[in-house]
Amino acid sequence: MDKLPYLLLMVFAGWCGGVQASVNSGLGKRVGTVEGSLISFTVGALALTIVFFFFGKGDISAALTAPKWQLTGGLLGAAVVVSMIVSVPHIGVASVMLGVIVGQLTSSLFIDNFGLMGAPVVPFDLYRLIGVVFMLIGVLCVFRQQLFH
């Protein structure tokens, strides 16, 4: 029960992701795909800069000695934002978000199973397999219109 706040935080983050896809898609239509992505990241960077100055307690200079792969998060985030801006007008927000979730779940299952990038090892088991099967059924239900029309 002590982990419930983290689950609720991630549900909120997922909600933000769904709204973000629609917001960024609208911006991308108005100003262009790359331009919309740049604006989105610039606004986010400005917001985080303000939060950093008021609440930051870490050591930002330690990024200079971090392994280079740990600095790729922004590139991965940019790929997500650009992909959403391009895809939402063609398949809708729900389909885009489900595609993102499928990608996130499959990569995270792989990372967990092998304990990659410092993650704890959480073996792939029957329950996780059942979850993936149900998720794939959900994908077929949500994507049905795009797949068969």
**Domain, as residue range, for 121:** 4-148
CA pseudo-torsion sign 40, 76, 60, 63: negative
Q: Which of the pair, 3 or 66, is modelled with greater confidence?
A: 66
> Which amino acid appears at position 121 of this protein?
V
Q: Which of 96, 44, 47, 36 is nearest to 74 (CA)?
A: 44
pLDDT (0 to 100) of residue 50? 97
How many domains does the chain contain in total?
1
Average pLDDT over residues 22-35: 95
pLDDT band at 149 (very low <50, low <70, confident <90, very high): low
CA pseudo-torsion sign 93, 74, 69, 7: negative
Integer distance in angstroms from the first to the last C-alpha of the chain?
Answer: 44
Q: Helix, strand or coil for residue 87?
A: helix
Q: How many helices (H) and strands (E) does the chain have?
A: 5, 0
Average pLDDT over residues 70-95: 91
- How many CB atoms neighbour CB 97 within 10 A? 19
Mean pLDDT, the chain, rounded, equals 91
pLDDT (0 to 100) of residue 119? 94
pTM attached to this predicted model: 0.81
Structure token pair of residue 53: 């100055």
> Which amino acid appears at position 13 of this protein?
A
